[in-house]
């Protein structure tokens, strides 16, 4: 079975408070974008149930096989449903450690694809519960539409309105930022205005209002992130910001995004509609 796990960007991200379980309460708007990995699995009839052969191409996937989120998603469902052995192949296109949710998306799409292929009859709530066991933002990719995320980023609320006509440019300078590094630069606190309020404003009014709490600390440490943001504004972006914990930066354009790839030599570059249909 073949699927295409897509990336996301965060429109604003507030770190509200540290939780007793060690995670943080946040608020953000998750939005899917069409940048995608390629994930495929086939049944391995010659291997005992519960076995996995995992291979990967594209951007190198770090860490041992058993820690890969696709394999962990399979193990989670195998424990409850006794799935047959699989060969899983991941072609990695979404940069890792980039604030784009690539690993979380791979895990969520693995859950959804296993659910479909083996007719497990899991509904959205059930799949979201499984996904939340794998990572805080994994559940978003089960739903995979623009949503307000809160608590650990695994609870969601529908949006009253959303700018559906923008194009987005995503740029990654090749800096891998770990979650612990990003959170170490932030002091949690309640925002002056909720992202739910700010997201209803025209996109041209988001600058300096809709903020990512990770951004200032990461720009101080990695000035190139701030330089990318300023170049996107200079190119006509209505709004530009860092996504998630970084280091990826996106720019939103009210009309067709200009081809600014030449301004970012050596950087990962992607552009497309803000809210594609999945």
Active site residues: 8, 137
Q: Which long-range contacts (CB under 8 A, 24 or more apart) does 44-50 make?
A: 44/84, 44/85, 44/86, 44/87, 45/84, 45/85, 47/85, 48/85, 49/78, 49/82, 49/83, 49/84, 49/85, 50/78, 50/82, 50/83, 50/85
Structure tokens that stand for 64 in this block:
């041992």
Q: Could you say which DSSP state residue 139 is in?
A: H
* Phi, psi of 204, deg, nearest 5: -65, -15
Nearest to 249 by CA among 241, 257, 261: 241
Residue 52: count other Cβ atoms within 10 Å of its Cβ: 20
Helices (H), the chain: 69-81, 102-117, 124-134, 138-143, 179-183, 195-198, 215-221, 223-234
Cα(117)–Cα(189) distance, integer angstroms: 44
């Amino acid at each position: 079975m073949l699927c295409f796990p897509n990336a996301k960007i965060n429109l604003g991200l507030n770190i509200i408070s540290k939780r007793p379980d060690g995670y943080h309460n946040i608020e953000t708007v998750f939005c899917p974008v069409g940048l995608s990995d390629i994930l495929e699995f086939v049944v391995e009839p010659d291997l005992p149930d519960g076995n996995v052969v995992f291979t990967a191409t594209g951007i190198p996937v770090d860490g041992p096989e058993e820690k890969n989120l696709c394999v962990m998603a399979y193990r989670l469902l195998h424990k409850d449903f006794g799935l047959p052995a699989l060969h899983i192949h991941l072609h990695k296109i979404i940069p890792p450690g980039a604030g784009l949710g690539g690993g979380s998306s791979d895990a969520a799409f693995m859950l959804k694809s296993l659910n479909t292929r083996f007719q497990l009859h899991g509904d959205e709530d059930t799949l979201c519960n499984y996904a939340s066991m794998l990572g805080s933002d994994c559940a978003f990719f089960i739903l995979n539409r623009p949503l307000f995320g809160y608590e650990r980023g695994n609870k969601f609320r529908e949006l009253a309105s959303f700018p559906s006509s923008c194009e987005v440019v995503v740029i990654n300078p090749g800096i891998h930022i770990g979650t612990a590094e990003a959170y170490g630069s932030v002091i949690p606190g309640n925002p002056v205005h909720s992202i739910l309020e700010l997201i209803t404003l025209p996109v041209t009014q988001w600058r300096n209002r809709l903020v990512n709490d990770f951004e200032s600390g990461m720009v101080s440490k990695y000035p190139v992130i701030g330089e990318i943001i300023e170049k996107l504004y200079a190119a006509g972006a209505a709004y530009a910001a860092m996504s998630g914990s970084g280091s990826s930066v996106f720019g939103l354009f009210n009309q067709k995004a200009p081809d600014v790839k030449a301004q970012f030599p050596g950087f990962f570059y992607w552009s497309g509609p803000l809210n594609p249909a999945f």
